[in-house]
Amino acid sequence: MLDVMQINSFYGKAHVLRDLSLSVTTGQVVALLGRNGAGKTTTLKSIMQLVVPRSGQVRFNGTDITGWPAHRVARAGLGYVPEDRRIFGDLSVLENLEVGRQPPRQGTATWSQDALFDLFPNLAERRRNRGRDLSGGEQQMLSIARTLMGNPSCLLLDEPSEGIAPVIIEDMARAIVQLRDQGLTVLLSEQNLHFARAVSSHAVILDRGTTRYSGSFADLDADPEFRDAWLSV
Amino acid sequence: MGLFIAQLLTGLANAGALFMVASGLSLIFGVTRIVNFAHGSFYMLGAYVGYTLMQVLPGAFGFWGAILLTGIIVGLVGVIVEIVVLRPVYRAPELFQLVATFGVILVIQDLALMIWGPQDLLGPRAPGLKGVVRILGEPVPKYDLALIGITPFVALALWWLIARTRVGILVRAATQDREMVGALGVNQSWLFTGVFFLGCALAGLGGAVQLPKGGADLLMDFNILASIFVVVVIGGMGSLPGAYLAAVLVSVLNVFGVTYLPQSTLVLMFVVMALVLMIRPYGLLGREEVAGDPGQSGEPERPIKPAGARVRLIVAAGIALLALVPLIAPPFATVLVTDILIFCLFAASLHFLLGLGGLVSFGHAAFFGGGAYTAALLVAHADSPMELALLLAPLGAGLLALIIGWICLRLTGVYFAMLTLAFAQLLWSLVYQWGDVTGGDDGLVDIWPPDWASSSTVFFYLALVLCVGGILALRHAAHAPFGYALRAARDSKRQAEATGIDTRAVQWGAFALAGAMAGLAGGLFVFAKGSVFPNELEITRSFDALIVVFLGGVKTLSGGVVGGAVFESVKDVLTRFEYWRLALGLTIIAVVILAPEGIVGSLRRLGERLGLLRAPEDGS
Ligand SMILES: Nc1ncnc2c1ncn2[C@@H]1O[C@H](COP(=O)(O)OP(=O)(O)OP(=O)(O)O)[C@@H](O)[C@H]1O
Ligand SMILES: [Mg+2]
């Protein structure tokens, strides 16, 4: 479904992603792992074309989307949930959802506000509150819900568990599993290995902008030395 | 009591058009982050288009239909401008956008002149609303009452659009985080275009609606510009209720000012603004703005080095060559080059502020004119000799800059820019209205150099020494620790402060120095021309300097000087044509889009490509 092929991404002159490749097949939940600064966020932004790779290709459902404006990528069915959530603070919860709304797309689930409030019951009570008045966890849920309003077929989640209370993390994990069971493809970046295992079966490990490992968690655990070399902090 | 109420009503009626125009500006800024300087031009266009339509469409239905239609037409013109001029520069720094919109002002000015001619047009009366109603014995025009009734509906409709519709939600979301809105699948280009349509349509509506009261003329664009800036600054950028409140405040104050303080009508508005800003720096209902990129983005700035031996030699040769001008060139050329020198100093002073300080001042004319008037007033009222006047001109302008800078530097980004413009307008109004002292519109004349300097040759050398001296002093300051501190403050205020730099003080100093140098240029200007008029303080003067700095290139030290020389020469040629504004406007727009590095930057790039200059080493 999603193929990243040898991309090189830069911030100005800083070369951040080096010939990075990864792929995600339909229905998979893949965890993008790596230390701070490994390039996880940049990878997701490069897929979304918020950072345009200088070379290499990003293919989505077989189409080369490299260099597309971000709104076109979104309309093709890629949903992006940024690391810092980027809720519209002045807008109410309902209005935030409205910004994300896109027409129904063939082949993917069509989300309604009510369905999202079922997925994230906490949001339902706060629907008239302004974005900036929500807690960190609620903002994270809102950010995901807002992106789901675009009815994506593949979701890019940047550190959904970051800075959230443990209880809420469990809710979040349950929600992601629920999404997976509904057939949504997910690529999520994580620092929290425990969380990543709970929701995904596949891992991609990044280090300094290149892929070090790509495969199942089971295979990764078979070589603990290798695993800890790349993941221990 | 009757008079009081009548005046209150007039003020409220006047607030209508002002609110429509100002809210349009505010909306456009909120979403696109562009301060649309051409907004006054769309207002003017609205008046002209409305006038024409009202001639064609009959009756009351035609009158109101014409107003609505005008809104749509002006909105569509706005769409054309947005697509052709602004789309290419959205990612460019503020200054580019500003200069581009200024090009649009010039183009619209000349198009209006071409189509509607130079004479003022008297607006038609509204059918069915002619005459007056007596309220407590005082006559109040019926049309005023209609306006008072209509404006809240326009405001309400606007509020509904922004608060209740999907478009409004997207607009508000984009005001906060454009990129995220794009990542959620919204095509920003069309959102921008839509907002531009709406904003310009509002300006057009404002222009058409005031026709029965004010008519249409070619000065409307600049005349309203300062008012809408004041309204937006007082109300708070991006706040519709704030704009309404401020429009009412300003209009009512104006009406009362005319009655009770006729000498100070123009000044009053600015005093109120200054007061509001002292108490609430982001306006009555505004919130703090994140400052945009003040300089030029894209390629990082090249390190500014003290000139090497070769460059020094070239500069010295250039000055020597200049010194030969009176000996070899005809007298008119000597006078022209004198003008160019003076203008170069003026431009270099703004360049110093803008390029090194990152302080985009829209009101630099205040100091050029300030210096000019300091000198002229000294001569006219105190019979002071030229030498003393030339000494005091930069001091006077510098003092003025200290005062204005103290207030303006409390703000950043667009607020700073608009505030500087407003202060320049304030000064202009002072000079214009205080006729007893300043001569008002008639200016101060007969201010010539003393006998020893009266020949154009001697005066040329005087100007050469002072201007080159001033420019070198600015250059020197750029390389001194002061200049480094200034650039540090521009690039990262927080970092600079962490290293112990008092950024505000450094910027204040730079503002004063730039003001003093502009004042010196102004002083010389008076003696070169033998007179001074209020237009040396006008917005156009400030813009001349901005354009020059931009044309020359912000990132290059010589940008101001080179741009000044080119601009004065080109203007000298261009102004001989009837529609020179059109030509200049189109040139500016073309440069913004095609050669955004300015003349010096583009030449340097060309030189590097041809192998004449060495490219800077790659820093990666
Ligand atoms: N806007 C930027 N400009 C310059 N460099 C950046 C920028 N954003 C990130 N970087 C650099 O790029 C590298 C990768 O950053 P990225 O944010 O992709 O890492 P990450 O794996 O998401 O880290 P984290 O776990 O902390 O979120 C880092 O070295 C970072 O310093
Ligand atoms: Mg990250």
Per-residue pLDDT tens over the stretch B331-381: 888 888 888 889 889 988 998 998 888 888 889 999 999 999 999 999 888
Q: Are B277 and B77 in contact (CB under 8 A)?
A: no
Please answer yes or no on whether B182 and A95 come within 8 Å at the CB atom: no
- B388-441 per-position pLDDT tens digit: 999 999 999 999 999 999 988 887 777 788 788 888 888 888 888 888 888 888
Supply the mean pLDDT for chain B: 85
H or E segment at A24?
A: strand A14-24
* B484 domain residue, yes or no: yes
**A61 pLDDT above the threshold of 90:** yes
**pLDDT level of residue B53 (50, 70, 90 thresholds):** very high
CA distance B376 to B527: 8
In this structure, what DSSP letter does residue B415 have? H
Q: Residue A94: is it exposed, middle or buried by C-beta count within 10 angstroms (0-12/13-18/19+)?
A: middle
What's the A87 CA to ligand 1 centre distance in angstroms? 21
* pLDDT range class, residue B93, cuts 50, 70, 90: confident
- CB contacts, 8 Å: B168 with chain A: none
pLDDT of residue B306: 63
Which stretch of A61-65, A131-135, A224-228, B117-121 has the lowest confidence by average pLDDT? A224-228
Distance A191 CA to ligand 1 centre (A): 14
Q: Is the pLDDT assigned to residue B618 strictly greater than 60?
A: no
Structural domain contains residue B615? no
Q: What is the pLDDT of residue B512?
A: 95
How many angstroms is it from A50 CA to the middle of ligand 2? 14
Q: How far apart are CA B564 and CA B545, in angstroms?
A: 8
Residue at B608 is within a domain: no
Q: What is the pLDDT of residue B296?
A: 36
Task: State how far the alpha carbon of B61 is from the alpha carbons of B48, B56, B213, B431, B559, in Å.
Answer: 19, 12, 19, 44, 55
pLDDT at A232: 64
Chosen domain end from B490, B511, B538: B538
Closest CA to B355 of B508, B549, B512, B519: B549
Q: Which residues of B touch A71 (CB under 8 A)?
A: 182-188
| Domain assignment of residue B188, yes or no | yes
Query: CA nearest B597: which of B561, B551, B566, B565?
Result: B551
Is B297 a residue whose pLDDT tops 70? no
Kindly give the distance from the C-alpha atom of residue B130 to the centroid of ligand 1, in angstroms, as a whole number: 67
Question: A10 CA to middle of ligand 1, Å?
Answer: 10
Q: Judged by CB atoms within 8 Å, which residues 17-46 of A form the interface with B?
A: none
How many domains, chain B? 2
Q: What is residue A132's DSSP assignment? A: G
**Enclosing domain of residue B406:** 329-538
Across the interface, whether the CB atoms of A13 and B181 are under 8 A apart is answered no
A42, A51, A85: residue to mutate for ligand 1 pocket, most atoms within 8 A of CB: A42
pLDDT (tens digit per residue) in B452-471: 877 888 888 999 999 999 99
Percent of chain B with pLDDT over 90: 32
Quickly count: other Cβ atoms within 10 Å of residue B271's Cβ.
12
Q: Which residues does a 6 A CB cutoff place in the pocket of ligand 1? A: A 11, 14, 16, 34, 36-42, 83, 191
Question: What does the pLDDT read at residue B263?
Answer: 63
Contact status, residue A182 vs residue A148, Cβ threshold 8 Å: no
Confidence at residue B370, expressed as pLDDT on a 0 to 100 scale: 94
Q: Do A95 and B176 touch (CB under 8 A)?
A: no
Q: What is the 3-state secondary structure (H, E, C) of chain A?
A: CEEEEEEEEEECCEEEEEEEEEEECCCCEEEEECCCCCCHHHHHHHHHCCCCCCEEEEEECCEECCCCCHHHHHHHCEEEECCCCCCCCCCEHHHHHHHHCCCCCCCCCCCCHHHHHHHCHHHHHCCCCEHHHCCHHHHHHHHHHHHHCCCCCEEEEECCCCCCCHHHHHHHHHHHHHHHHCCCEEEEEECCHHHHHHHCCEEEEEECCEEEEEEEHHHHHCCHHHHHHHHCC
Structure confidence by residue, pLDDT tens digits, A182-224: 999 999 999 888 899 899 989 999 989 999 889 888 888 888 8
Rg value, chain A, Cα:
17
- Is A131 part of the contact surface with chain B (CB cutoff 8 Å)? no
Tell me the shortest Cα–Cα distance from B324 to chain A, in angstroms: 47
Angle between helix B59-81 and B39-56 (nearest 10): 150
Choosing from B538, B564, B599, the residue where a domain stops is B538
Output the average pLDDT for chain A. Answer: 91
Query: Does one domain contain both B188 and B337?
Result: no
Q: Enter the CATH code of domain A2-231.
A: 3.40.50.300
Percentage with pLDDT > 70 across chain B: 93
Confirm whether B242 is domain-assigned: no
Tokens of B418: 């608009």
Ligand 1: residue whose CA is nearest its atom 16: A39
Is residue B73 over pLDDT 70? yes
Are residues B516 and B403 part of one domain? yes
Over residues A92-116, the pLDDT tens digits come to 999 999 999 999 988 888 899 999 9
Q: What's the pLDDT score for residue B307? A: 65
User: Which of residues B199 and B254 earns the better pLDDT score?
Assistant: B199
DSSP annotation of A14 = E
What are the backbone dihedrals phi and psi of residue B359, each rounded to the nearest 5 degrees, phi first?
Answer: -100, 100
Alpha carbon nearest to ligand 1 atom 28, residue: A37
Interface of A with B in 54-113 (CB under 8 A): 69-71, 74-75, 80, 82, 86, 88-91, 95-96, 98-102
Phi-psi region of A126 (alpha: psi -120 to 50; beta: other; left: phi over 0): alpha
CB distance A70–B179 less than 8 Å?
A: yes
Residues of A with Cβ-Cβ distance to B183 under 8 angstroms? 48, 50, 70-71, 74, 80, 82
Asked whether B43 and B177 are in contact (CB, 8 A), the reply is no
The residue among B228, B254, B284 that closes a domain is B228
Probe target for ligand 1 pocket from A9, A10, A11, A20, with the most ligand atoms within 8 Å of CB: A11
Euclidean distance between CA atoms B17 and B206, whole angstroms: 4
Which chain B residues touch A if contact means CB-CB below 8 Å? 166, 169-170, 172-173, 175-177, 179-188, 300, 619-620
State the pLDDT at residue B258.
Answer: 76
The bridge status of strand B531-532 relative to strand B444-445 is: antiparallel
pLDDT given at position B295: 37
Give A154→chain B minimum CA distance, Å. Answer: 13
Lowest mean pLDDT among A220-229, B147-156, B378-387: A220-229
Residues in chain B: 620
Q: In the prediction, which pLDDT does B294 show?
A: 37
The owner of tokens 């047009």 is B121
Measured over the CA atoms of residue B245, residue B247, residue B253 and residue B259, the dihedral's sign is negative
- Ligand 2 centre to CA of A36 (Å) is 7
Q: Quickly state the pLDDT bin for B497 (edges 50, 70, 90).
A: confident
Residue B447 inside a domain? The answer is yes
In a domain, B244, yes or no: no
Cβ <8 Å between A86 and B177:
yes
pLDDT band at B301 (very low <50, low <70, confident <90, very high): low
Torsion of CA B391, B393, B396, B398, to 10 degrees: -90
CB contact under 8 A, A150 and B185: yes
Residues of chain B with Cβ-Cβ distance to A75 below 8 Å are 185
Lowest mean pLDDT among B229-243, B288-302, B405-419: B288-302
Backbone angles phi, psi at B410, to 5 degrees: -70, -20
The partner residue sitting opposite A146, judged by closest CB among B184, B188, B619, is B184
Q: What 8-state DSSP symbol labels residue A109?
A: P
B168 and B38 both lie in a single domain = yes
Does A88 sit within 8 Å of B180, measured CB to CB? yes
**Using CB atoms, which residue from B172, B185, B187 is nearest to A91?**
B172
Residue B288 has pLDDT above 70, yes or no: no
User: In this model, does residue B137 exceed pLDDT 90?
Assistant: no
Q: Whose CA is nearest to atom 22 of ligand 1?
A: A41
Q: Are B202 and B69 part of one and the same domain?
A: yes
B404 and B521 co-located in one domain: yes
**Chain A residue whose CA is closest to B181:** A99
| Backbone φ/ψ region at B455: left (φ over 0), alpha (ψ -120 to 50), beta | beta
Q: Considering the domain boundaries, does residue B553 fall inside one?
A: no
Residue B620 has pLDDT above 80, yes or no: no
**pLDDT at residue B161 above 70?**
yes
Label residue B85 by pLDDT band (50, 70, 90). Answer: very high
Residue A1 has pLDDT above 80, yes or no: yes
Average the pLDDT over B141-163 and give the result.
90
B187 interaction partners in chain A (CB closer than 8 Å): 69, 71
Instruction: For residues A4 and A49, give the distance between their C-alpha atoms in angstroms, rounded to a whole number.
Output: 12
Of A80, A98, A147, the CB nearest to B169: A98
At residue B593 the predicted structure's pLDDT band, cuts being 50, 70 and 90, is confident
- The preferred substitution site among A10, A13, A16, A80 for testing ligand 1, maximizing ligand atoms within 8 Å of CB, is A16
Among A77-81, B391-395, B480-484, the least confident range:
B480-484
- pLDDT-derived band at A50 (thresholds 50, 70, 90) equals very high
Helix (H, G, I), strand (E, B) or coil at A80: strand
Give the residue among B165, B184, B232, B196 at the shortest CA–CA distance from B31: B196
Given this model, what pLDDT does residue B396 score?
Answer: 95
Q: At B299, is the pLDDT very low, low, confident or very high (cuts 50, 70, 90)? A: very low
The mean pLDDT value for B534-539 works out to 87
CA-nearest residue to B175 within chain A is A88
